A and B are shown apart, each in its own frame.
Chain A
Amino acid sequence: MPEQVAEQFEDLEKQAHAARLGMWVFLGSEVLFFSGLFALYTGYRTEHPYGFGVGVEHNTIAWGSVNTGVLLVSSYTVAMAVHMLRRGRNTASALLLGATIFLGLVFLGIKTGEYLKHFSDGIYPGGWGHFFEEHGDPGTKMFFTLYYCMTGLHAIHVFAGMCVLSLLLWKVLRRDIGAWAPHPLAIGAVYWHLVDMIWIFLWPLFYLIPGASQS
């Protein structure tokens, strides 16, 4: 059943614009939500460059890099899904959405493997664990606490994005949305892109930028 224009809107275009505005205001608030954590990271890294360097050195670059590729490709597939839906190709759009959700699962699987590896190494949030008996610098404890907070919050957003995309996949398959009203999928895709965008910054901060111990 095609989407109806709500009574408070004159036409579908105005309804779509209101929905897009709402999503972008939400994304702005999401940026502010993460901004406190990014600011904390910047401040503590400035004060503890050595401790943060130890943390970066301990993280596995390969896993972080693979996850970066996974999220970048997933952004492409969801953008293509929107493109296909705008042209009325619901089946192709559904397949691309399925691929995006699968890539989200791959990302979360790798992230879970990383967390399990950290736990086995004795690295827990808050600076707990035997790893910190050898690496007692307060900066290293702060690095891994921020690592769990920021990547954990990001993982929750990935999961939420997968739920949103699953719902949209259902609507695309039922043809509740299509070329006549593609904006629900376009809005959901924008949320997924923000999740990708946040990881674009998390990757260098936690995996790539060496600290004072290495530079």
Chain B
Amino acid sequence: MSARAEPEAAAQHAEEGPSPRALTYTLIALLVLAGLSLALRFAHLGGFSFLAALLIAVIKASLVAVVFMEFLHEKPTVRFAFATGLSLFALLVVLLVADVLTRTIPPLSNPPGTAQRYHG
């Protein structure tokens, strides 16, 4: 069966997707957020610079996913498939950071006759 012979399907596809205006506004928002990230690089926020930069990156990635990738318009099976990957990624990073931050066991001492070990 030829797909070209399906005018309903073609009309449905033509209606899908964000408008050029929405795409353009999203690009502008992404560039503004990138500029904000760059400005914060020189703001000397101390320990908050890591958090601020990653927060802006998450917002930018969400914009790309929602508008450009049309993630929210996908069916639940598609959303579930990708959300599984993201969830496992988050789990890995959170558990790893929790492990590194809460280590209390001191490093092993140097074996006799060996050079000074670097402990980080």
A119: Cβ under 8 A from any B Cβ = no
What chain A residues lie within 8 Å of B61 (beta carbons)?
197, 200-201
Minimum distance in angstroms from B46 CB to a CB of chain A? 5
- Name B24's closest neighbour in chain A (CB-CB): A76
Total inter-chain residue pairs, C-beta < 8 Å: 175
Contact A193 B82 (CB under 8 A): no
Minimum distance in angstroms from A25 CB to a CB of chain B? 5
Minimum distance in angstroms from A164 CB to a CB of chain B? 15
Question: Given contacts A20-B78, A27-B85, A86-B14, are A42 and B93 in contact (CB under 8 A)?
Answer: yes
Minimum distance in angstroms from A79 CB to a CB of chain B? 5
Q: Mark A13-48, 1 if CB is under 8 A from B, else 0.
A: 100010011001101111110011011001100111
A87 to B14, CA, bound (A): 5
Q: Dominant SS at the B interface?
A: helix
A182 to B97, CA, bound (A): 43
Contact B88 A35 (CB under 8 A): yes
Question: Given contacts A24-B74, A65-B34, are A75 and B9 in contact (CB under 8 A)?
Answer: no
Contact B64 A196 (CB under 8 A): yes
B72: Cβ under 8 A from any A Cβ = no
Number of interface residues of B (CB under 8 A): 65
Contact B53 A208 (CB under 8 A): yes
Minimum distance in angstroms from B82 CB to a CB of chain A? 5
A69: Cβ under 8 A from any B Cβ = yes
What chain A residues lie within 8 Å of B67 (beta carbons)?
79
- Name B67's closest neighbour in chain A (CB-CB): A79
What chain B residues lie within 8 Å of A210 (beta carbons)?
41, 44, 49
Question: Given contacts A79-B68, A181-B3, are A215 and B82 in contact (CB under 8 A)?
Answer: no
Contact B88 A69 (CB under 8 A): no
Question: Given contacts A28-B86, A42-B96, A209-B53, are A138 and B120 in contact (CB under 8 A)?
Answer: yes
Contact A43 B24 (CB under 8 A): no
Centre residue among B24, B38, B74 by max chain A CB count within 10 A: B38
A91: Cβ under 8 A from any B Cβ = no
A164 to B13, CA, bound (A): 22
Give the B-binding residues of A (Cβ under 8 A): 2-5, 11-13, 17, 20-21, 24-25, 27-32, 35-36, 38-39, 42-43, 46-48, 61, 65, 68-69, 72-73, 75-76, 79-80, 82-83, 86-88, 138-139, 179-183, 186, 189-190, 193-194, 196-197, 200-201, 203-204, 207-210, 214-215
Cβ-closest 9 pairs across A and B: A28-B85, A204-B53, A35-B89, A2-B4, A31-B85, A76-B27, A208-B41, A215-B46, A79-B68
